[in-house]
Every structure is written in structure tokens, then in C-alpha cells.
Amino acid sequence: MDEKNDNTPDDYSRKVGERLRAIRRQKRLSLQEVEANSAQEFKASVLGAYERGERAISVPRLRKLARFYSVPVDQLLPLEGAPDFGVEVDETIDLRERPTRAATGSLTIDLTKLEK
């Protein structure tokens, strides 16, 4: 039996966290800068726990974070059925106006980051 189950809440929280981290890094912000720029609405320690998948983020908080980053909420959620290669990948995400990822099924990954 396969020990890895991608449908567990912990696994999904980890994937959401990876997306949150990718967006924050795309915006070139540290955890401390997010805390300062959000008037301490998003504490660095809590945001770090979200990004590590140690803590689940609520829908209202996810919406506020998307608004803070100026991205659609769906950009903060992992694609269903997206491959998980078992490594952390820094995603390059196109944050310009475009159709939602759900509509296009597109995702941009900077392959040079895989060579680390």
C-alpha cells in the first residue's frame, strides 16, 4: 500500500503553504516585511507556520492575504492533480492580469531552480 496520500489535510496544508511562500518570494518580501507592511495583521511567525504547512489558514485569512499580495485567491491554492516531485520548488508565478489558473490550467515553473 502506498504510504503517501496526497489527499490528507496535512499534505494539502503543505501544498497551500508552498504556494503562499512562492507568492511572497515572487513579491520579494520577507516574513518580517509582510508583518510590517500589513500593520502586524499577518504575524511573521504565523505566516511562517502557514508556509510550512504546520497551521491551516482559514478562508477569510486566505482572502485577506490574497488582497495584501494583490493576487486572486485561486493563485494561493495548489492545482488539483498537480505533480508533487517530493522537493520544494520555487515557482515563478505570472502575477499579471490573466484568466484564472482553473480556466487555463497553466503554471510557470522556473526550471533553473530545480538544479539546486
CA–CA gap between residue 80 and residue 97 (Å, rounded): 22
Nearest to 57 by CA among 86, 25, 14, 87: 14
Specify the pLDDT at position 32: 97
Specify the pLDDT at position 82: 54
For the chain, how many structural domains are there in total? 1
Q: Is the pLDDT of residue 100 over 70?
A: no
Whole-model pTM above 0.85? no
Is there a domain that residue 4 lies in?
no
Specify the pLDDT at position 79: 78
Supply the DSSP symbol for 76.
Answer: G
Is there a domain that residue 68 lies in?
yes
**What region, left, alpha or beta, does residue 106 occupy, with left being phi > 0 and alpha being psi -120 to 50 degrees?**
beta
CATH of the domain at 54: 1.10.260.40
Per-residue pLDDT tens digits for 50-83: 999 999 999 999 999 999 999 999 889 887 655 5
Structural domain for 29, as ranges? 9-79+87-115
Grid cell locating 94: 505570472
